[in-house]
Amino acid sequence: MWAILLALCVLVYVVLMITFNKVHRKIFPAGRAPLICGYLPYIGVALDYAKNPCKYVEDMRKIYGDIFTLYVMGTTITLIANPHNVNKVYISPKNFDFHEVGFAIGVDVFDLPQESIHNDETAHKAMSMIVKKLQNVELEEMTQRSKQKLEQLFSTSEYTKEWKQVDMYNWINNITVSIMMAVLLGEEYNPEPVLRTFQPFDKSIPILSAKIPEGAKTEAKQLRRKFMDCFLGKPNEGAIGLIKERYELYSPLYNEQQLSNLLGVMVWASLSNTTNTMFWSLYHFMKQDESVRQQIFDEINQVLPKCEPGKLPDMSYETLASMSKLDAFIDEVLRLHFSTFSGRMTMNDVKFAANDGNTYHMDKRQLTLLVNSHLDEEIFQDPLTFKYDRFQDKTKVFSKDGKPIKLTSALIPFGGGMNLCPGRFIARSEIKLYVIALLVLFDFELPEDQIAEDLRNVNLQVGPPNNSISVKLKLK
Ligand code: HEM
């Protein structure tokens, strides 16, 4: 009796699933990217995808090719892989829009108001201000503020010529938070509340952005509130011009809480990737042979003036920008540890002529994720190995499918096209400054058995390590 009932249930389930998959194939007829529905109504492939997005997408790419669509939680997401295709998307911002996706993240993750975020004129003014200040006007001031704060941090009694052991990630996080807060919000701003609340909020972002019932997000929302409350009130006089002017621009539109969220987004953007990139840079530096470490030191010594022991040499934004070996080192860190898929929304019905020779029809308002090829062995030989000089030869041509690709299509940690990260110059400069400060001022010892595991599979831009790494350090 039970066996018959069970057999009937299985039969009903199979029939339902076949119908469900057929329904979806009808909605997506020929000329569309292959649709992968999974076998759970509404949920689709969400569970498999969420377990390990990068691996799942790579597995599907091997079966279905560079363009395919996933059915996830009642909606569809089109994935586009291969630098030739990704580049085509980047250079068509009218068809593939970044801001629609950015707005949705602003609302879901950062609790920005739905209505005023669409105020195009203000959003446009704010973005021009960000680009102008972060890519030009305030670069030098930010660099000098960071340098001063670094010197101040490392001259306290906490650091001596005796070895001390620290948890490397927490230590770096404390440094980057203290410095970034002084850079953005001024010396008088107390970074303690941000130190307490930033990491818990950062870890809750996958939950806040997930398409799950709002009730399942209660704890994540509380962590977000604690972080955002650090920024209530008008910015200090000592805050950098960008922060003060952005506050003035949005004051007539936003209430106090919304203004603090707006500042919280900028603080998060300036910290999240920078802290993690900084961790991996120092980690890989310590794992290199003495001869490689010496090459990096030689560049520091050649480019920067000599200074007394225990002090940092004078550094301008321009001198930091000229350090090509350190730049290549950071590029390799970003290649190996940046995992996110950049999001775009189709703003029209699009006929996408893909690299495989097919033309795919995509409907207006199709969410599209661009898959980076940072671990593609056809482009990057031995892709899971850190090679400090992989990007040193700037004339080197990479290729995919037998055709050359620009480095800016192969290596995309800052996104691409019109929406390239506006913070990329200051981010590089800060990371170099921190690395130089640590190398010039400290001796480090990382035991060989300390191996940091990458959380790449959770698809978090540059992710933190998955395990705790202890390092010994002392002032030189
Ligand atoms: C290693 C550090 C960083 C990485 C890897 C990174 C990465 C990114 C990426 C991938 C995007 C999306 C671009 C796209 O999809 O085409 C982005 C956007 C953005 N980033 Fe960064 N970022 C970093 C540091 C910073 C810093 C330090 C700031 C600010 C101080 C910043 C501010 C922004 C802003 C405001 C946007 C939105 C741009 C827009 O709306 O067009 N980022 N970043």
- Is residue 422 in contact with ligand 1, taking CB distance under 6 Å? yes
Instruction: Identify whether 70 is part of a domain.
Output: yes
Cβ atoms within 10 Å, residue 449: 5
- Is residue 135 in contact with ligand 1, taking CB distance under 6 Å? no
Q: Tokens standing for 395?
A: 């004339």
Instruction: Identify whether 54 is part of a domain.
Output: yes
Overall domain count for the chain? 1
Spacing, Cα 430 to ligand 1 middle (Å):
14
Q: Tokens standing for 430?
A: 């800060």
Domain of residue 56: give its range.
1-98+340-369
Which CATH number do you get for residue 46?
3.30.43.20
Spacing, Cα 269 to ligand 1 middle (Å):
6
Given a cut of 80, whether residue 79 has pLDDT beyond it is yes
Q: What's the pLDDT tens digit per position in 303-322?
A: 998 888 778 999 999 999 99
Rounded CA Rg of the chain: 24
Which ligand 1 atom minimizes the distance to the CA of 184?
Answer: 30
pLDDT of residue 19: 60
| Dist. CA 206–CA 357, nearest whole Å | 35
Torsion of CA 33, 34, 38, 44, to 10 degrees: 10
pLDDT of residue 306: 84
Cβ atoms within 10 Å, residue 333: 26
Question: Closest Cα partner for 116 from 130, 103, 97, 101?
Answer: 103
- Is residue 277 in contact with ligand 1, taking CB distance under 6 Å? yes
For 340, phi and psi rounded to 5 degrees? -65, 150
Question: Closest Cα partner for 276 from 141, 469, 440?
Answer: 469
| Dist. CA 15–CA 205, nearest whole Å | 38
Instruction: Identify whether 344 is part of a domain.
Output: yes
Task: Collapse the DSSP code of 268 into the 3-class scheme (helix H, G, I; strand E, B; otherwise coil) and give the result.
Answer: helix
Which of the four pLDDT bands, split at 50, 70 and 90, describes residue 463? confident
Instruction: Identify whether 361 is part of a domain.
Output: yes
Q: Mutation test of ligand 1: which of 131, 268, 414 has the most ligand atoms closer than 8 Å to its C-beta?
A: 414
Spacing, Cα 334 to ligand 1 middle (Å):
13
Q: What's the pLDDT tens digit per position in 18-65?
A: 565 555 555 556 789 999 999 888 899 999 998 888 889 999 999 999
Instruction: Identify whether 218 is part of a domain.
Output: no
Given a cut of 80, whether residue 7 has pLDDT beyond it is no
Instruction: Identify whether 236 is part of a domain.
Output: no
Average pLDDT, the chain: 90
Spacing, Cα 420 to ligand 1 middle (Å):
7
Which ligand 1 atom minimizes the distance to the CA of 413?
Answer: 5
Torsion of CA 30, 33, 39, 44, to 10 degrees: -130
Instruction: Identify whether 302 is part of a domain.
Output: no
| Dist. CA 173–CA 278, nearest whole Å | 9
pLDDT of residue 20: 57
- Is residue 462 in contact with ligand 1, taking CB distance under 6 Å? yes
Given a cut of 80, whether residue 13 has pLDDT beyond it is no
Instruction: Identify whether 375 is part of a domain.
Output: no
Nearest CA to ligand 1 atom 30: 270
Torsion 470-427-296-340 (CA) sign:
positive
